[in-house]
Amino acid sequence: MLLKADHVNKIFNGVPLLTDIDLQIEDNDRIGLIGANGCGKTTFLRLLLGQILPDHIQEGDGQIVRAAKTSVGYLAQSAALDSESTVWEEMRAVFRELLDTQERISALELEMQSGDMQHAEEYDRLSAWFTANDGYLIDVKIRTVLHGLGFADEVFDRIVSSFSGGEKTRLAIARLLLEAPNLLILDEPTNHLDFDTIAWLEDYLQSYRGALLIVSHDRWFLDRLCTSICEIERGRLTRYRGSYSAYVVLKKAAVERQEKEYALQQKEIAKLEDYVARNMARASTSKSAKSRQKQLDRMERIEKPVTEQKRAGLRFTYEIEPPLDVLAVKDADISVGEGAGRRTLLDAVSLEVRRGEKVGIIGVNGIGKSTLLKEILGTLPHGGTIRWAKNTRIGYFDQESADLDPNNTVIDELHDRFPAMLDGEIRSILGQVRITGEDVFKRISALSGGERARVCFALLMLENANVLLLDEPTNHLDLPMKEVLEDALFDYTGTMLFVSHDRYFLKRLATRLLELTPNGAVLHPYGFEKYLEVRAAEKAAAVAAAQEAQLAKERAEKAATSHRSKAQRRADADRRNRMRELEQEIETLEGTIAELEAQLSDPAVTSDHQKMQAVCEALGAARERSEACFEELIELEQ
């Protein structure tokens, strides 16, 4: 056991947020923590981390127990690494203890070579610890993680504070992975990551030697990594074994079973209560009625099932049908900035969209996906041509909700856009996106990201657009709202162009994909699942081609060698023989070095200065000879 939450409660302003929560995390657990926005997930993480304390309702409850061996690493949702150190310095700082030990070992080696053997025992102890903790692999580990998270060698000397916000988040993830705690708590780790980086992180975490507790709205990520799902709903935590997909099935079955058991018990209760009410007053049947009352009193009542909160009711409709060919983009450039600072990200992007198609736009962060969408919308300048067919009515969703007036209340925002609508009509449409009661009078500036997105969806429903341009529509949404949005867009018969990094969303909706790459735009005439299959096949083919090229090179070298002169072949044979001799000598020297190092711990040697000096001199000579053999071997191999 690494960590345990035992009957944990948390109350805010007199209202229970978390009630009687139990959770035990074992050494190799892979737990996904889910729940609607505002249900208390981040609060629960803070309780586990000891950043806030539980509230005690009765004696002995609200204990957070952490095992002595537990080391915890936490990636907050808004985490970002920020310092004036270089990337390389920041990553090596994780291994400060190992690096200090390495310096001490080097100092002790110099002392011992000069004949001072008083610290020989410390030298052996530190060397063994350094090797056991992969001290010789520090740089390899750092490069592996940084490369996996998209950082090339060229940026290792850059100051951390000079990176963008998303890059700083990736650096925070890199440092945390290198720290390698035995309990890793990640709050929305896939934010700011592109497909390739997320795939690398999934692979890395699958083989992670420790427990994982992950808060995420990325269902694909949860499916690949988690072996159990913990859901916080109405203040209580329920744990389901299996991946996210298994949770969906188990949750549905559990609710159906509880509803059936509750209904049967309620029927039995009603029957008993009716009998008691009719017979308690009669002398002849009062004894029987009292017996039924006792049966009612003893009955363990089944709680009324926690039904899902009222789902949003999104529905996107339109009245005017556009022509078959809706959009034509020809040689458009994707450019950012103005004047002398204007920079072209991609040239000659071409695309044709037909009525009813749902085109997903994908690519690495910063490649220009949102910019392209705004150019197609007509709000940004561009080269080339972008032509819309007649009778197209466009609805646009901006991931930042920048077109909302922060000073408006929610209801005023809709009134300003649709002044002819009555209050009741506006409240009705807001109710469909779960904005009800006094919440309609909240200012836009006071809304969460998810609430602003729901206001935008309400506006989008009222626009009756036959073309939807959506920029990261699932950002800020909890899992239930994502599923509602997917259902609504799946049923939408109009045309869609959308930017998304949500792989489930892309899999379900995209009929074609436009991939933006540094080498240009590529149109894939199929959906996301087929795209992944094709890309995997291409990677496998590339690996096979590289292997075949290597074999061909070796065969060519072998053929060329067979035609060499007799003297050349003899020289090659001599070189190979010498390499074998060197390898044998190195192996012998390694055995000698091991024996001499063992003698440094022998009391018979350490107590005799002359013997000790002789052993040290022999050890130095053996190491020097070994290095010389290695250098000669490398030269011969080259």
In DSSP notation, 416-457 reads: HH-TTS-HHHHHHHHHHTT--GGGGGSBGGGS-HHHHHHHHH
- Which residues face 352 on adjacent strands? 328
d(CA 9, CA 232): 13
Q: Which of 475, 498, 525 is the last residue of a domain?
A: 525
d(CA 206, CA 24): 20
d(CA 106, CA 613): 18
Lowest-confidence region among 308-312, 387-391, 610-614: 308-312
Same domain, 343 and 491: yes
Same domain, 397 and 498: yes
Same domain, 391 and 356: yes
Q: Is 417 inside a domain boundary?
A: yes
pLDDT per residue over 290-333, tens digit each? Answer: 898 999 899 988 888 765 555 668 999 999 999 999 999 999 99
Contacts of 365 (CB under 8 A, 6+ apart): 166, 192, 193, 194
pLDDT of residue 554: 83
Question: Where would I find the beta strands (DSSP E) of 481-570?
Answer: 495-499, 512-517, 520-524
Same domain, 367 and 497: yes
Q: Is 285 inside a domain boundary?
A: yes
Number of domains in the chain: 3
Q: Which of 494, 525, 556 is the last residue of a domain?
A: 525
- Region of residue 150 (phi > 0: left; psi between -120 and 50: alpha; otherwise: beta): left
pLDDT per residue over 235-255, tens digit each? Answer: 999 999 999 999 999 988 988
pLDDT per residue over 167-222, tens digit each? Answer: 898 999 999 999 999 999 999 998 878 888 899 999 999 999 999 999 999 999 99
Length of the chain: 638
564 pLDDT above the threshold of 60: no
Segment (H or E) for 284: none
Q: Which CATH number characterizes residue 381's domain?
A: 3.40.50.300
- Using DSSP's 3-state secondary structure scheme, residue 521 falls into strand
pLDDT of residue 445: 93
Contacts of 326 (CB under 8 A, 6+ apart): 353, 354, 355, 357, 388, 389, 392, 467, 495
Q: Which CATH number characterizes residue 633's domain?
A: 1.10.287
d(CA 43, CA 97): 33
pLDDT of residue 22: 94
Answer whether 2's CB lies under 8 Å from 23's CB.
no
Question: Where would I find the beta strands (DSSP E) of 108-258?
Answer: 183-187, 211-215, 228-233, 236-241
The residue that leads in pLDDT, 283 or 349, is 349
In this prediction, residues 466-478 reach a mean pLDDT of 93
- Which residues face 64 on adjacent strands? 5
For the chain, the C-alpha Rg in angstroms (whole number) is: 34
**Separation of first and last alpha carbons in the chain:** 52
pLDDT per residue over 43-56, tens digit each? Answer: 999 999 999 999 88
- Using DSSP's 3-state secondary structure scheme, residue 86 falls into strand
pLDDT per residue over 220-237, tens digit each? Answer: 999 999 999 999 988 999
pLDDT per residue over 400-429, tens digit each? Answer: 888 899 999 999 999 999 999 999 999 999
Same domain, 481 and 356: yes
- State phi, psi for 468 to the nearest 5 degrees: -115, 125
pLDDT of residue 310: 55
d(CA 225, CA 242): 10
pLDDT of residue 156: 95
Contacts of 531 (CB under 8 A, 6+ apart): 513, 515, 524
* Percent of the chain residues past pLDDT 90, beyond the cut: 58
Q: Is 119 inside a domain boundary?
A: no
563 pLDDT above the threshold of 70: no
Q: Is 134 inside a domain boundary?
A: no
Segment (H or E) for 399: none
Q: Is 532 inside a domain boundary?
A: no
594 pLDDT above the threshold of 90: no
pLDDT of residue 371: 93
277 pLDDT above the threshold of 60: yes
Same domain, 503 and 608: no
Q: Which of 496, 525, 554 is the last residue of a domain?
A: 525
- Using DSSP's 3-state secondary structure scheme, residue 234 falls into coil
Same domain, 441 and 586: no
Most confidently predicted of 14-18, 340-344, 626-630: 14-18
d(CA 197, CA 505): 18
pLDDT of residue 73: 94
Print the domain residue range for 357: 325-525
Q: Is 461 inside a domain boundary?
A: yes
Same domain, 340 and 266: no
Same domain, 620 and 472: no
- State phi, psi for 535 to the nearest 5 degrees: -65, -40
Same domain, 475 and 349: yes
Same domain, 264 and 373: no
562 pLDDT above the threshold of 80: no
Same domain, 341 and 435: yes
d(CA 36, CA 38): 6
- Which pLDDT band holds residue 101 (cuts at 50, 70, 90)? very high
Q: Is 1 inside a domain boundary?
A: no
Identify the CA nearest to 162 among candidates 93, 94, 80, 91: 80
Q: Is 340 inside a domain boundary?
A: yes
